Amino acid sequence: MPTTTHNVIIIGSGAAGLTAAINLAQDRKVLVLAKGALDGGSTNWAQGGIAAVLDAGDSFEAHVEDTMVAGAGLNDRATVEFVVSEAPAAIERLAKLGVPFNAGEDFGDRWHLTREGGHSHRRIVHVDDATGHAVQVALLKAARANPNITLVEDLIAIDLITSRHGERYSGDGHVWGVYAFNKKTKHVDALLGKATILCTGGAGRTYLFSTAPRGATGDGIAMAWRAGCRVSNMEMNQFHPTCLYNLEVKNFLITEAVRGEGGHLKLPPGVPGGGERFMPRFDPREELAPRDVVARAIDHEIKRLGLDYVHLDISHKPPEFVKHHFPTIYARLLDLDIDITKEPIPVVPAQHYTCGGVVIDLDGRTDLPGLYAAGEVTESGLHGANRLASNSLLECFVFGEAAASHIRAHWDELPAPPPIRPWDESRVTNSDEEVIVQHNWKEIRRFMWDYVGIVRTTKRLERAQHRVALLAQEVDDYYGNFRVTPDLIELRNLLEVARLIVRSALHRKESRGLHYTLDYPETLEAAVDTVLAP
């Protein structure tokens, strides 16, 4: 089993990981690992854009307020103010790296700013309707060109290496790197560093329907929890209102910017009120209400009328306008025989973003010395009970930068890793029953969707809790006896995250933001985080 030592280890090559790497590489050598392809995370799939105050008529105060309103007051105001005030500089850095943000349409406007739900101003910079891909390409280009950055694909982090894994036990919880399964050699490598940054993204795949890529299995949250970090607000899972409803293409997002640029949500024909808009009945902000409100309204109409989907319609806008603003969506849907310039798009809500995660401070520090985290894996206090659209990529850039800056500023205080025990592969054999892994994957995602979804009840949550406990016995047993595989590593994490979500949801005795339960429909006066400590 190879053991290699680096300055800093970054787990994840999305917006957060690469931002941190590029900053650190000014004077440190960095290893960045990805569980699959380097562009395999959510970053590459982001559509709408990045929120920042860039217009003279807009203000930091308004962006802060919009973020707090969407987050139902559960946000940490100091964090929100920090991120919002760092946003314009983050956008400048991206522009310098070559991200080709769309130019302004009016004279004197540097960039075109689109609008999304919950924003009181136009403040989203974007690259057509495929902003994440443009960001991923620019960050990867800069990282590849930097001799201080080593990028490695197909290395799956299994568990953080802490002082418990040292040859001499010290027990202070210091993190020295990570054990990672190498898909090419099929062995487990020990990767050591003075500092480790978790940038592993979210846990969307805990749910049956999600807009997130296959690898969003909450690995970083589960690893940090097992190592001894607190996690917070895990019950706050964001459901995006408009995922394409299609029996073959199951997770194609229709960006919120479609509603921002005038798209309407309507009931499909053939039901009472068919062809009519329904959002005005639910919220004065109509289609541009925050996501939790719109997703719940769609869920309500689907259940009330027994529908498979509702319609999102932008066909009343000129065809050239639609094609110009949404070229990717236009082309993708035309392939599926839907011409969005002429007809509505069938849509359903789907899990989209993990608002909860590993607790960090404004420097990206977790509870454990040597361990930092940035991006969707974290709960920084920015999103509260519901993330405001396009604040997520922003969080990755701000905290990727903050964690890297803190490590560089405190480099001399960070101790070097001690001798570490290698991963013990001798006691286990190859699995003879892969079916268990596949079956349990599906079971978790199904019951999480059915029992821990948009509308919850205590009874459903208790059912989910019971299922988690049964599966945990099976998975722990399996994990202890058989050699690790990529699917087994992810299954163990998926289950850990499901357990944290259900436990947090049962703990919250109110409805707030994304956590809506029929048993406690009121919102309590005091907004209190659900913090779980190992």
Sequence-distant (6+) residues with CB within 8 A of 444 are 206, 467, 468, 471, 491, 494, 495, 498
Q: Which is nearer to ligand SIN, 326 or 441 (CB)?
A: 326
Stretches 41-49, 91-99, 331-339, 409-417: which one binds ligand FAD (CB under 6 A)?
41-49
Which partner from the list ligand SIN, ligand FAD, none does 117 bind, CB cut-off 5 to 8 Å by kind?
A: none
Which partner from the list ligand SIN, ligand FAD, none does 349 bind, CB cut-off 5 to 8 Å by kind?
A: none
Q: Which is nearer to ligand SIN, 49 or 193 (CB)?
A: 49
CA–CA distances in Å: residue 77 to residues 68, 91, 103, 198, 363:
8, 22, 32, 24, 16
Assigned token pair, 515: 């956590």
CA–CA distances in Å: residue 439 to residues 59, 89, 378, 442, 487:
50, 47, 29, 5, 11
Contact between 500 and ligand SIN by CB under 6 A: the answer reads no
Contact between 217 and ligand SIN by CB under 6 A: the answer reads no
Work out how close the CB of 45 gets to ligand SIN at its nearest, in angstroms, rounded to a whole number.
Answer: 9
Phi, psi of 482 (to 5 degrees): -120, 155
**Rounded distance, CA 341 to CA 154, Å?**
41
| C-beta separation of 513 from 236 below 8 A | yes
Q: Which is nearer to ligand FAD, 75 or 511 (CB)?
A: 75
Work out how close the CB of 297 gets to ligand FAD at its nearest, in angstroms, rounded to a whole number.
Answer: 21
Contact between 47 and ligand SIN by CB under 6 A: the answer reads yes
Buried b (16+ CB within 10 A) or exposed e, 396-414: bbbbbbbbbbbbeeeeeeb
Assigned token pair, 273: 């009120």
Contact between 232 and ligand SIN by CB under 6 A: the answer reads no
Work out how close the CB of 481 gets to ligand SIN at its nearest, in angstroms, rounded to a whole number.
Answer: 40
| C-beta separation of 292 from 453 below 8 A | no
Contact between 117 and ligand FAD by CB under 6 A: the answer reads no
Work out how close the CB of 138 gets to ligand SIN at its nearest, in angstroms, rounded to a whole number.
Answer: 18
Q: Which of 291, 296, 445, 508 is catalytic?
A: 291
Helix (H, G, I), strand (E, B) or coil at 43: helix
Work out how close the CB of 481 gets to ligand FAD at its nearest, in angstroms, rounded to a whole number.
Answer: 21
> Is residue 291 flagged as an active site residue?
yes
Contact between 260 and ligand FAD by CB under 6 A: the answer reads no
The closest of 429, 454, 432, 435 to 505, measured between CA atoms, is 454
Q: Which is nearer to ligand SIN, 69 or 414 (CB)?
A: 69
| Residues from 214 through 233 that contact ligand FAD (CB under 6 A) | 215, 219
Phi, psi of 158 (to 5 degrees): -105, -55
Contact between 201 and ligand FAD by CB under 6 A: the answer reads yes
Contact between 43 and ligand SIN by CB under 6 A: the answer reads no
Sequence-distant (6+) residues with CB within 8 A of 22 are 97, 139, 142, 143, 146, 149
Contact between 389 and ligand SIN by CB under 6 A: the answer reads yes
Contact between 149 and ligand FAD by CB under 6 A: the answer reads no
Work out how close the CB of 198 gets to ligand FAD at its nearest, in angstroms, rounded to a whole number.
Answer: 9
Assigned token pair, 253: 């997002």
Work out how close the CB of 240 gets to ligand FAD at its nearest, in angstroms, rounded to a whole number.
Answer: 8
Q: Which is nearer to ligand SIN, 47 or 237 (CB)?
A: 47
* Beta strand segments in 357-503, E: 357-359, 371-373, 378-379
Contact between 40 and ligand FAD by CB under 6 A: the answer reads yes
Stretches 74-82, 251-259, 340-348, 494-502: which one binds ligand SIN (CB under 6 A)?
251-259
Helix (H, G, I), strand (E, B) or coil at 491: helix
Question: Considering just the CA atoms, what is the radius of gyration of the chain in Å?
Answer: 23
Contact between 392 and ligand SIN by CB under 6 A: the answer reads yes
Contact between 379 and ligand SIN by CB under 6 A: the answer reads no
CA–CA distances in Å: residue 332 to residues 308, 317, 342:
21, 19, 15
Which partner from the list ligand SIN, ligand FAD, none does 227 bind, CB cut-off 5 to 8 Å by kind?
A: none
Stretches 100-108, 220-228, 385-393, 457-465: which one binds ligand SIN (CB under 6 A)?
385-393
Binding interface with ligand SIN (CB under 6 A): 47-48, 255-257, 389-390, 392
Catalytic residue numbers read 291
